Structures are given as C-alpha cells and as structure tokens.
Chain A
Amino acid sequence: MIPAQTYLLLSAAVFCIGLFGILTRRNALIFLMSVELMLNAANINFVAFSLQHGNLTGQVFALFGMALAAAEVAIGIGIILVLYRNFTDVDVTKATTMRW
C-alpha cells in the first residue's frame, strides 16, 4: 500500500502550485483556478488520512469541500463578471478605486 507521505507530498505540491499562481499572476480567472488547486490539495489530504485511519469521515468531508468549491466558483465568476464590467479588465491590480 502506498505510504501516507506520498499523498502528503502530492498534496503539498498541488497546494504550492496554487500558491505560486496566486503570488505571480494578476488575472482574476487564474486566481480562481489557483484557489481551486489549493482547495483540492486539502481534499487530497482528507482522503489520504481517511485511508490511513480506515474511517470514511475524511472522504465525506472531501465531498463537502468540493461542494463548497462549487459555491465559491459560482460567486467568484459573478464577481469577476462585475469586475470586468466596471474596469473593462480582469486584472486584479487595476481595481484600486477603493484604495485609500
């Protein structure tokens, strides 16, 4: 059976790819995709430890995580749509109207 460290490394890699995207990109859509990567890294951990402990609670929690990710994307796409309408761009650094 595959040891738990392998899953943890995979999860850390996916999380760090998401973090890299958030730190280096300015496109709001890529931001959204990066956040999804970070959420899915958490789900990998849940499922890995579900197998580790022989208990299904982690898998059920991962399903709820996916549902939350879906809700987040729905709101995120709506916000990006309004961002584009107001600033004619999806660059997150352009939306500085409320900056003091």
Chain B
Amino acid sequence: MTNKPELHTEGSFVAGLAAVALFVVLGAVFMGVSFPTPAGFGEGAAITKSLGAAMFDIAPSAIMGEGESAVPSEGFLVAFEIIDVVLVAALVGAVMLARREDAGEIVSLAFGGAESDQQAVAADGGEPTAASDETGGDDA
C-alpha cells in the first residue's frame, strides 16, 4: 500500500466560488464588448525615453535622438516625489515594526505584563524566553 502526497488545504474552498463567479461575469462582459484597433505607439517610438521624460516632467524633444519620436504623456514629477516620501515612510515603518525594544523585550500588540513575555518568540526562531534573563540578542 502506497501513500500519496496530499495537498495541504486550510478550510473549504466554498468561499472561493465567489471569485470564480466574478471571473465568469467579468469574462462574459469582456467578451461582449468590442474595442477599436489599438492605437499603439508607432514605429520609432522611444518608449523608455518618453517614460523618463514623463516621470521627471521634462520636454521629450530634449532627449530624443535621430529618428526617435516621443510618445505623449502627462507630467508626473509631483507624484514621483510623493511616492518617494511614501516609500521612505514605509521603510521606516517596517523597521519600527520589526525592531526589538532596548531591554530585549519584543514589541507587543495585544498582550500585557509577564504573560506576554511567556508568549514571546524570538525573531530568529529560537525558543521562547522570559524577559528577565533576556539580553536582547542581536541588538546588544
């Protein structure tokens, strides 16, 4: 008698039927409409250069070479700077969430007191330790 590998599933797939139904509806709608022939970008269009010009909001004609034509777009310099700030904020937020406290205690969300120390698990997958003898691991 042989053992077959089994797919590890978590719960039922009944809720996933909603996703399948949504795909059926979307597919029926998309098949029912007709679009005109795509305009495309034409021969000799410098798409990457035009993307750079759009992102930094500079005139595309200033960076086009011989035989290259610019593709129209809007300027996105302000959006570019906002995304820059958002990415830095996300980076700082991720570090803040992941770091340990000075005394080696973990950042806890819901539990409080000594109970949370018993629940704590080291980020490196080590054994749970009580806060009293914990020295902070990598942070020193």
Binding site for B on A (CB under 8 A): 1-5, 8-9, 12-13, 15-17, 19-20, 23-27, 51-57, 59-60, 63-64, 67-68, 70-72, 74-75, 77-79, 81-88, 95, 97-98
| In the assembled complex, B65 has its CB within 8 A of some CB on chain A | no
Chain B residue at smallest Cβ distance from A76: B94
- Contact assessment for B119 and A19 in the assembled complex, using a CB-CB cutoff below 8 Å: no
Contacts of A85 in B (CB 8 A): 106-108, 120-121, 123
Choice from A2, A25, A57 contacting B74 with Cβ under 8 Å: A57
Minimum CB distance partner of A5 in chain B? B30
Q: Among A15, A72, A82, which residue has its beta carbon within 8 angstroms of that of B107?
A: A82
What is the bound-complex CA distance between A84 and B127, given in angstroms?
13
- Cα distance A27–B9 in the bound complex, in angstroms: 11
Q: How many whole Å from A55's CB to the nearest CB in chain B?
A: 6
Contact B54 A56 (CB under 8 A): yes
- Residues of A contacting B96 in the complex (Cβ-Cβ under 8 angstroms): 78
Partner of A16, one of B26, B111, B121: B26
Q: Knowing A81-B98, A85-B123 are in contact, say whether A60-B73 is a contact too (CB < 8 A).
A: yes
Of B33, B50, B94, the residue contacting A78 (CB under 8 A) is B94
User: Nearest Cβ in chain B — how far from A36, in angstroms?
Assistant: 15
Q: Are B37 and A1 in contact (CB under 8 A)?
A: yes
Which listed residue, A1, A8, A88, touches B121 by the CB 8 Å rule?
A: A88
Evaluate contact between B109 and A4: CB separation under 8 angstroms: no
Residues of chain A lying within 8 A (CB to CB) of residue B114: none
